[in-house]
Structure formats: structure tokens, C-alpha cells
Structure 1
Amino acid sequence: MSMATRTPTARRGTSRTARRTACAAALLLAVTALPTAAAAAPATTSHIEGQLPSGATYLMDVPADWNGTVLLFSHGYVEAGRANGAQDAPDDATKALLLEKGYALIGSSYASTGWAVTDAVPDQMATLSAFTDRFGAARRTLAWGRSYGGLVTTAIAERHADRIDGSLSLCGLVHGGVANWNNTLDPAFAVKTLLAPDKDVPLTGLPDQATAVAAANTLASAVDSAQSTAAGRARIALAAALHNIPVWNQPTQTRPAATDWDAQQANQYPAVKGLLQIAAFTRRQEAEVRAGGNMSWNTGVDYAKLLGQSSVRKEVTELYKKAGLSLRADLATLNRAPRVSADPSAVAWMSRTSSFTGKLTKPQLSVHTTGDALVPVQTESALRRAVTAAGSSALLRQAYVDNAGHCTFSPAEQLAALHTLEDRVTTGTWHATDPKSLNTKAAAADPTTPARYVSYRPTPYLRPYDLAHPADRR
């Protein structure tokens, strides 16, 4: 049985929600966040908080003049053990604009934190059912989510298409779980092999969080030491290239010139450290516990070939030249180093729960910033690969925002994406998905925040894995 309370004015409930949303936002995958004003819901909005049988909490904000569309929002990654409040919108400013337009907003906390897809998907579906029970069937249901919530949203799109009319992923892990952990392994492997070869640092099979934190700190310290030499900086750039870390990846950074290799590497340096400290160890350890073992591998991987496909390979070659260091020799060292093998049962779990078939039956729009270091824009190439192989490409559209950082979208850009998806659902055809049209929609939706859609084609994802390409399974 669900338990809920209703506050007609929403003033007291909205302030509690704003505090909870602000806390949870700091725990998402994003390492940056847009400043937002507090949500100002219309006085007639019904604000509802409840609990699902799983223990997850949920939020519902429903305007009195509800337009018939419900937006099911899936939030991003929350660190294991941290506060995990329900969210029904990506940020307060966007939430206020959507409520003003009459949209009903709903979302759950998920029953657990960490790599929680097995809880998140059923909890989101249960939240949608609770909404229907209380308010009746929506005229239209759109699933959307940011960051890890993009993975949850894509899982909903593939597994519960009968419950939704379309989906929107924002800066999402649309490459799926196996691909994510494989690609996260590569820069850590390069740092250990080239910058800390004498350190006994486990990259996988982490027994507990203490081991994971110690490993992350050891390699982060090695990166700090390497940054003081030309050779070290070149090797850090190589590690960054294996994850496609962009050379402009935080809004606070200066965007470097196309041939300013030193400035480019200086921007990548903190991102490499952040990847080690955020995802490569502590989050991996939590995911390994869920999977029952190590779900990633680099057996059979040719690192020279991976570098050749990287979006920043030119920077790496130039920095190696400047340092008088042999790139060929370092790549040979990587290719000779002892490899990491996966636990087949863990791969099977991650594949079954967190990888995608690419089979869409309802339209999906996927949007990414071009300067994302944590979930690189190349994940969109992996999604396109799966959807094309599954014969669903007509249902997918992808768009790109020219900004640095993870999930650094403006409210205007997010509303433009939602309106574009709505148009597709209404007409049965994609209309005005080009950057100029998206920016026009963004400016109309919220002229006070940026509109930065651009034409962009990401390079290939370096470690693709999906259920549409079974030959990739190892």
C-alpha cells in the first residue's frame, strides 16, 4: 500500500522538496551543476509525497490546470549510503517552467542507491501506477532522465514501451553497463601501467570500499606526481584519450585553442583524477557487489587501435613529441601488460540488467553536451550503433549542446528537447530537430537561459557493447 499526503497550496511541501532536491543533486554523476532559482509552483499545484512497497519514496507535482501530459523523471546516480530523496525534475528552474505550462511531474527515489537499475525501473513503473490510480490515465506519458537516469529511462523505453509514449535521455549512460565499465577500466589500466608500475593496485575484484578508496588515492597521487613532468603529462593525456575525455570539460575552464596542447592537457588532468576518484574504484566496487564479480575486461584489446579512434589522439601524439617520449613504446607496454579478465556470470548480470538491445518501439530523443568528461559524448555513437543494428533508427534522434561539463544544460535547452519529443509523439514524424530549430524552441521556452544546440557528430565509442551485437560478448 502506498502512503501519501496532499498539500493543496504546495508552499510548505515545495520548500521541503527544494531542500531534498538540492541535496540529491550534489550526489549525481555530475561533477558540475547549473545554479538554479527555487521552484515557484503555482499555488494550486498538488504536491504529493508517498512511499512505495519497495521502500522507495516518490514525488508528484500536479497543476490544477494539468495539460494531460505526465513526465516520469529518473534521477542520476546517488552514492551508496548517501541520502536518496525522490526527484521529479532535473532542477528547480526547469521544474517551475514545466509546472507553469501545466505538466504533471512525477519520480521516485529508487529503493537503493548506487548501480540501482534493478530497483529503479520497477520503482519508476510503480510510481506511474500510483499516479494513474490517483489522477487517472494521462493523455500522454513521457519518460525522461539525466545521467544515470538516462540509462534508467532507456531501460524503460526498451522494457516498458507499452507504458510510455516516448523517452528523452539527457547526458545519459545510453551505452549501457558493460560498455561503461569496460571504458572506465582503460584509463585506470593506463595510469597504473605507465605511471605506477610498481604499485600493487587492484583494478577490479575490489573486496570492499576501503580497498577501493586506497586504490583510487594511490593512482590519483601518481597522476599528481606525473603532472609535474612533460613525460608524465603526455601519459596522462594518453589515459584521458582512452576515455575520450574532452579538452574542455568544465564550464569554469578556458576553452583551449585547437593546437594549444598544453592547455588541453591541463584541462584533462583534473578530469582524469576525478574519474579515478569517482567511478573507477568506489562506484565500481559497489557495482561489482551487485553483479557478483568483475564485469569488465581488457583481454584482446589493442590500445594502439583504441588511441587511433580517440577524439583527442592528435593532442597525445603532439605531447609525446614535445616530451621526447616514444608513444609506440608506451602503447607496446600497455599491450604487453597483464590483462584483466571478466567474471562471465558478472558480465551476464550486467548485460541482462544494464545493456541495451537497441530495439525501440516508441520515439526516443537523446541529448548530450559536447564537453562531458564523465559520460563522454561518444556514448551517443554506441546508442546509434545498437539502434541501427536493431532496425529502429527511424525512432531515434540525437542532439548536441555546445557546453562543457556533465549535464550542464540550461532550462531552455531541456524544454526544447521535451517539446521536440512531444511534437514527434503528436505528429508521428520528427520535425525541426536541427540545431537552429532547437535553439528557436529553447529561446521561446525560456529566453533567460542559453540556447546552444550545434551540429555535431561524435567519434566512435571506444569500447562498445550491446545486445544487438552478440559477437562482442566475451
Structure 2
Amino acid sequence: MKLLLATTLVAGLLSPAAAPPSHVEGALPSGATYVMDVPRDWNRTVLVYSHGYTPDGTPNPAQNAPSAAVRTAALDHGYALIGSSYAETGWALEHALRDQLSTVEEFAKRFGKPRRTIAWGASLGGMITTGLAERHGHRFAGALSMCGVQAGAVASWNNTLDPIFAIRTLLTTSNTPLADLPDQASALASAAELTSALDAAQATPQGRARIALAAALHNIPAWTTASSPEPAPDDYDTAQRNQYEQLHNTIYTGLPARQEAETWAGGNMSWNTGVNYAHLLARSAVRPEVEALYARAGLSLTEDLATLARAPRISADPGAVAYMIRYLTFTGRPGTPLFTIHTTGDADVPVQGQRAYADAVHDAGYEKSLRQAFVHRGGHCTFTTGEIMAALAALEKRVDTGRWPDTGPNALNASAARLDPGATHAYRTYRPAPYPRPFDLAR
């Protein structure tokens, strides 16, 4: 803390015209901290980084880049990098939007107005970046959302409900609560019960088939980690095992993290009343796997879908839904050029969320403002430094010229190779399957 205050006080003595220091830390009136790095050969562009989800009770430092390697690359290219911690942890989007704008203002006070400001962020920070582009686009020259929650809050929480609803219905005889969770103890107890049922089910062919069905309702992909090889298209056993392992994280998100978000929203923001799970499965990217495993196990998929259809449903609190519309559901109207990138094997934030946002943009008539690109790799936010820098370079060309450059995979991979020659880059032509539960403000 003494070092932080000392750095802040020294920086405060410098006028905007003075040579900028390489590193400044400080605190905003909200209590959020910020960090700023400015190279000596600053190109007069500042990148405002929005970090991802930070669970309650964990360290919450300010961040201004997705990784140390990307920070170094961006500084070497002359960018100033800034970002805040947000005033609170958890589902703190209402603080995040304000704190990021305040960080931009603080930067201008210290170093003068930049030539342009670009928003970028990853995971929940990609969602915050899209929120800045839609709600405060006039303040940004462009925005880069990486592995973002592009489906928006309401849709994402709805779709997170579906796999745990299937697990409870098909793998247990329990009525353990999945929403309106009163406290973390209750949420953790429900999570432990569903996790135990999941683990027991994995031991039998019938259980594995039902686990695959639960995963399909959330579009959990077959390839879920960059450190393991991609399963062959018909290697359903490996795909199912990967999905089973990921569902442990999904249960955590769907219960303890949900309870934390419900405290922000003032109630349950999700529902599955009126949802046709047979229809969701028919649109799932991994439906063939489910059908094959059910056939192998000698189970009736039709009967299990009927069981889901008969199960008592969950209704939402309208006030909580309204909160999640504010923080943060999208209109499909970015007020500045927006480039999104996503890995195809993202199990934490399935890539179909990009389709949801593209559909909203189409419905709103803002297609000229959006470009999307996809990296063929397992894992959440597992981009190479070159892939990120190539996306940033493409966005800057759009800002400079008023026209989007070639954002196809060949062009992006070539750019990534120039910027990061030691890595293997994997942009690929890809069209996500439909998002299972779209909900936006463009309709």
C-alpha cells in the first residue's frame, strides 16, 4: 500500500505535458484501483482493458492486458495500457462500466487527451467491452471483445440453467434448488449433490449418455482444453469425457456463482418455463454424439426428453430479469466498430454466444459495425499473443480507414505470424450453431 500511494503521489506531481512514467497505480473514488502503463514512444492510442470474472473472496488487482506477453507486445507497439479492478468482485458489471470510464478520465488528467481510445477485454471483460461499445460508443474509436459473453446476461444465465436442470432431472430424484438460492451454503450444498450424481453417472453407459445430453443443452464442445488433442469427429467417448469434466465447472457457475449474481439482481433472473428441450437438442452442435451414445446405451432419448418436458419448471423474478437487462443485455447496436474473436472449443463461454450477438446485430441493422473471427482451438480465451495482436491491428485499420480490412482466417493468420512468429496460429472459417436461448433487445 505504501508503494502504491507513493507511486500515485509522484505521478500526481507531473503535468499532462511531462514525460509520462512507465507505470502508474492509483485508486478511483469508487474504491476501485487502476493501473496505467505508458511507453516512452507512446503512439497516442490508449487501450482500456476490461478483465474477466473475479469470484468473491479472491484477489482483485487492476489489470490492463490479458497476459504479460500481450502487455509486452502492446507496449512494444507504442500503445498505452490502462484498466481498473472494478469496485467490487463477482457480477459487478454496473461498477465495471463506470470504473472503466473513470479510468479513461483519470488517464486524460494525467497524460492529456489521447488521439484515440480503444476498449478491449476478455471473458466477462469482453462482455463489458461490448457494453462500453453499445452504451458509450462515442467515447471509443473501436472495441475488441475476446472470448466475451456476447449472448448477454439474461440469455447466458438462462442457458446455464439448462444443463443443471437436466442433471437434476435425469440423474437424481432430488428437488435440490437450482435458483432463488438464499446463500452460498445452500448453493454449495446443491452443487455438491449434483456433482456427486454426475460422478456416479459417469460410471455407466446410461449415465454417460445422459451427461452428454446435459452438455448438449449448453453446447459444451468436444474439445475443451488447448493442452489436449482435438477428438476425432466420431470419437464420442473422448468428447463425452471432456464434457463430463467441464460440467463440474458448469455446476459451480450454475449454482454458487448464480447465487452471487442473484444477490446483485435481487432474485432469480432465469426461467425454463415454456422451453422445449427436444427443440434445443435438435439445434445443438453436439447432437450426433448424444444420439450415438443413447443408442449404444440402449436408452430412449425420446423418453428422457419427455421426462424433461414433464419436470416442474422454474420461473424468473421480473425485477431480477430487469436488472440483468440493465447489467448487461445487448441491443445489437454497437456505437463504434466492434471486432470479436472466440475459440471454437470454449466450454466456459460456448462459441454459440457469438451467433446470438451477430443475430442481434443483424436484426438491429448494424452489420457494418461488426466483424467476428474464430480460432480453432480448445479452451476459454486460449489465444496466442499473435492472434490477439492481429485482431487489434485489423480493428485499427478499420479505425484508420473507415473500412474493415480483410478479416478472413488467412489474412489474420498471416498477420499473427508476422507479429508472433514463434507460435502456431489457428484462425479458421467457422459459423457457430444457433444459440440455444437467445435474448436481446434488438427484437
AA aligned opposite 2:118: L
CA distance in 2, matches of 1:183, 1:158: 23
Post-superposition CA distance 1:92-124 (Å, at most 9, x none): 001011111110000000000000100000000
Unmatched 5+ stretches in structure 1? 10-43, 470-474
Would you say the 8 A contact 1:176–1:356 is kept in 2? yes
Report the Cα offset of residue 5 of structure 1. Answer: 2.1
Kindly indicate whether residue 169 of structure 2 is the aligned counterpart of residue 167 of structure 1.
Answer: no
- Overall identity of the aligned pairs, in %: 56
- 1:396 and 1:88 map into 2 onto residues whose CA distance is 24
Aligned amino acid, residue 355 of structure 1 = T
The ranges of structure 1 where at least 4 consecutive aligned residues each deviate by more than 3 angstroms after the TM superposition are: 6-9
Q: Distance in 1 between matches of 2:226 and 2:356?
A: 25
Contact (CA 8 Å) 2:389, 2:419: kept in 1 or not? Answer: yes
2:420 maps to amino acid: D
Look up the equivalent residue of 1:418 and give its one-letter code.
L
Q: Distance in 2 between matches of 1:420 and 1:210?
A: 47
Matching residue of 1:28: none
The answer to whether 1:262 aligns with 2:237 is yes
Q: Calculate the TM-score normalised by the size of structure 1.
A: 0.89
Pick aligned residue for 1:319 from 293, 302, 307: 293
For residues 119-130 of structure 1, what are the structure 2 equivalents within 5 Å?
119-130=95-106
Deviation at 1:263, TM superposition (A): 1.7
How is 1:38-57 mapped onto 2 (pairs within 5 angstroms)?
46-57=22-33
Cα distance in 2 for partners of 1:126, 1:450 equals 37
Deviation at 1:242, TM superposition (A): 0.2
The corresponding residue for 2:404 is 430
Alignment of 1:27-426 (within 5 A): 46-196=22-172, 198-277=173-252, 279-426=253-400
Q: Over residues 251-289 of structure 1, what are the superposed CA-to-partner deviations in whole Å (9 max), with x where a residue is unaligned?
A: 233321111211211111101122102x10111001000
Partner of 1:40: none
1:5 aligns with 2:15: no
CA contact (8 A) 1:141 1:166 kept: yes
Contact 2:83 2:103 in 1 (8 A): yes
CA distance in 1, matches of 2:346, 2:58: 24
| Cα displacement (A) at 1:8 | 9.7
The alpha-carbon deviation at position 45 of structure 1 amounts to 5.4
How far the C-alpha of 1:361 sits from its partner, in A, is 2.5
Question: Given residue 168 of structure 2, which amino acid in structure 1 is its aligned partner?
Answer: K
| SS of aligned partner of 1:453 | coil
SS state of the match for residue 181, structure 1? helix
| Residues 7 and 47, structure 1, Cα contact 8 Å, conserved in 2 | no
SS, match of residue 199 in structure 1: coil
Superposition deviation, residue 3 in structure 1: 6.7
Query: Is this contact kept in 2: 1:88–1:107, CA < 8 A?
Result: yes
Q: What is the CA–CA distance in structure 2 between the aligned matches of 1:7 and 1:50, rounded to whole Å?
A: 9
The alpha carbon displacement at 1:205 in A equals: 0.4
Query: What is the one-letter code of the residue matched to 2:86?
Result: Y
Q: Distance in 2 between matches of 1:155 and 1:207?
A: 29
For 1:223, the aligned partner's letter is L
Quick check: 1:253–1:267 contact (8 Å CA) kept in 2? no
Contact 1:7–1:48 under 8 Å retained in 2: no
1:455 counterpart residue number: 429
**Matched AA of 1:251:** A
Q: Which amino acid aligns with 1:202?
A: P
Residue segments in structure 2 that go unaligned for 5+ positions in a row: 12-19
SS in 2 for 1:5: helix
- Residue 296 of structure 1 aligns with an amino acid whose one-letter code is S
Aligned residues: 433
Q: Deviations over 1:352-398 (max 9, x none)?
A: 22101111221000000000001000000010011111111111000
